[in-house]
Amino acid sequence: MKILQERLSKYDAPQKAMAAGIYPYFREIESDQDTVVKIKGKDVLMFGSNSYLGLTNHPSIKEAAKRAVDKYGTGCAGSRFLNGTLDIHIELEERLAKLVGKDAALCYSTGFQVNLGVVSVLTGRKDHILLDELDHASIIEGSRLSFSRVLKFKHNDMKSLETKLKLCSPDSLKLIVVDGIFSMEGDIVKLPELVKLAESYNATVMVDDAHSLGVIGKNGSGTASHFGLTDKVDLIMGTFSKSLASLGGFIASDKDTINYIKHNSRTLIFSASMTPASAASVMAAMDIMISEPERISRLWDNTHYALKRFREMGFDTGKSETPIIPLFIRDDIKALVLTRELLSDGIFVNPIVSPAVPKENCLIRYSLMATHTREQIEISIEKITKAAKELKILP
């Protein structure tokens, strides 16, 4: 056996979880991504999706994708840099820039590629990247590809951020990169305080709005808009795989910054373009998001109701204030068993266990859609509470 195979063969954590009957990943869904999905022929209430506006199966979006395939085919057969730029890519970028209040935008094939390709390319050897310790993995990976010094500050702790800023050379480029809504904790970045610090230390601010688009801000335009700080945030990143019901991502900023990224970001230059169907789907989803603001209102009605009910039941939901509701279990095995029991009882949730989070912070990630009914939410809370009591997670 070669050294690689010998080494990797020792990795058996998934096999152990499977043998124990508590392996919770790669669950096969046999239907569209809706409030109810089919798994092994059984209807299951979906509370593990990022489809915040419930648009993934919207007829208008599906028709837009079909029309794009009819006109452009199924793929671009190349990168944006060479032969893979379509007129709908340009139209989408113009519309995205307008939505988030920036001069220009640039689309990538996935949101992960955006952060990987942008965070890694903006700063140099004598510069600094400052990250919230709970930033998304794609931001972390982008910082690792940079030649800059990376400094992490405590989660949403502006005193900690200032301590790190003081370590930076006054003349260096200082790039602060944060999630707008944190993807596991469900809290919102303290952007007003962060922007004040950035101004004091002449730092650049980049906000990852993957979980903020379609959720907060004017017309669902994200975190900077939510706080009225669009002009103070230098770069806005977003994804299409959540509220916008497609696949891909974008970065928006001033024209000079986008021009530089367009000609230097390796994950753009050396990756194939987002498909025509994906681009068309995003534009159709944006049309619905803007023309049907009641979807965002319903999402927030569901959020406020679910948070209130979970807290009444005795769950620790941390500092969540968004449709992402963490139910802290603080025991890996119990979190995995709870996930298994809920799926067998018709409820789909996502367990977040170590090493993704420290063992003492393991949780069940419960997420809402605008299209969930009050009855569906109540059924899920009753079943989660019942199972949590049986497992002695709740008294």
pLDDT digits over 282-302, tens only?
999 999 999 999 999 999 999
- pLDDT score at 355: 83
- Name the percent of the chain lying above pLDDT 70: 100
pLDDT above 90 (res 1): no
- Mean pLDDT, residues 307-321: 97
- Name the percent of the chain lying above pLDDT 90: 97
- pLDDT score at 56: 96
- The helix (run of H) or strand (run of E) holding residue 140 is helix 137-145
- Mean pLDDT, residues 115-121: 98
- pLDDT score at 354: 85
Residue type, 184: M
User: 96: closest CA among 111, 113, 75, 76?
Assistant: 111
- pLDDT score at 205: 98
Could you tell me if 323 and 181 are in contact, meaning their C-beta atoms sit under 8 angstroms apart?
Answer: no
- Regarding predicted confidence, which is higher, 127 or 360? 127
Locus of tokens 């990797």: 8
C-alpha 242/C-alpha 275 separation (Å) is: 17
Locus of tokens 């059924």: 379
> Is 0.85 topped by the overall pTM?
yes
C-alpha 90/C-alpha 83 separation (Å) is: 14
User: 360: pLDDT confidence band, cut at 50, 70 and 90?
Assistant: confident
What token pair was written down for 206? 């980049």
Catalytically active residues, by annotation: 183, 211, 242
- 189-209 confidence digits (pLDDT tens): 999 999 999 999 999 999 999
Strands ordered across the beta sheet of 324-328: 324-328, 363-367, 350-352
Residue 30 CB burial class (10 angstroms; 0-12, 13-18, ≥19): exposed
